[in-house]
Amino acid sequence: MTENSALRKPSRIADAQRRLDSAVAQLEAVLKRSKGSPIIYDQGRNTAEDDSAAMQAEVEDLKRTNAQVKQVNKEVAGRLDKVIEGLRASLDC
């Protein structure tokens, strides 16, 4: 029974390949739909400069968010270290 269920279950690589193929197909479909028509952005902007500025602002926002996540991660790691130390100390008694 174990062999049979393993044969039916797609491998992680095959599953990842299927998802990648699907994503590429979706991107190609969007590209085909947008050819020949201007891309409309918020407030009617469609210049490369506006797009670049918007992307730069998003990058800066993501950098700030990343820094916050790193700080929280550092704090949580410190707390976990203290808990592990406490558990080790109580086990040594």
Residue 41 pLDDT: 52
* pTM of the predicted model as reported, rounded to 2 decimal places: 0.42
Distances (CA, A) of 60 to 35, 47, 50: 30, 20, 15
Which residues in the chain land under pLDDT 70?
1-10, 35-48
Residue 64 pLDDT: 93
